[in-house]
A and B are shown apart, each in its own frame.
Chain A
């Protein structure tokens, strides 16, 4: 069964460093998303991406964050200068359309900022 894959599964970084989280969505999906879950808290929407541009973003998604689809398969989330509060699990998701609302989530990338 097709699945969304994310790398790395866990990354530890120093405050102020740049981090890139990578995702390979399901191949025939057109809509891509990043969600975040701070430890012990709920899952929160960060951004959605369609047709090579951001279609919606939350208030969490500030100028420190950016997303890109550098080639036909990868979808990346970049955090330019990490802060302690960026420590969280980051989930990538994709969907084939927006009508049914069914998202397929990856297994997550745990980011720890020291």
Chain B
């Protein structure tokens, strides 16, 4: 069975602080994909990144960076110099072993609040 754990329910920071959102996953499959989605107060799900299990290179996109470590089954997400507009719920998700190939298992989400 697949499982995604986001232990941080809520995080509150002050603007310009760096913040890391943790994600730990469980799967028996050797091929899988990991995702991060952002859900702003308006409610839609915004795709941020996809990573496959064979690519452990860390990735940076502007103020966002991701640290994928298979040894610890973690896929953490860091926002550098946070801004108020980063306030949202962030979901980590796993796609593996599904008959349909794209059944995402989501974590519980982390509510990030960035205060001015």
Contact = CB atoms under 8 A, between A and B. Distances in A.
A15 B102 CA distance: 32
A101 B45 contact: no
A95 B37 CA distance: 16
B47 A45 contact: no
Interface in B43-90: 43-45, 47, 50, 52
Contact of B95 (A41, A56, A101): A101
Nearest to B43: A108
A50 B61 CA distance: 33
Contacts of B52: 100
A101 B50 contact: yes
Contact of B102 (A95, A107, A108, A110): A95
Interface residues of B, number: 25
Contact of A31 (B45, B50, B100): B100
A89 B35 CA distance: 20
Contacts of A48: 98, 100, 102-103
A45 B108 contact: no
Contacts of B108: 41-42
Contacts of A103: 47, 102, 104
Contacts of B42: 107
B109 to A, nearest CB: 6
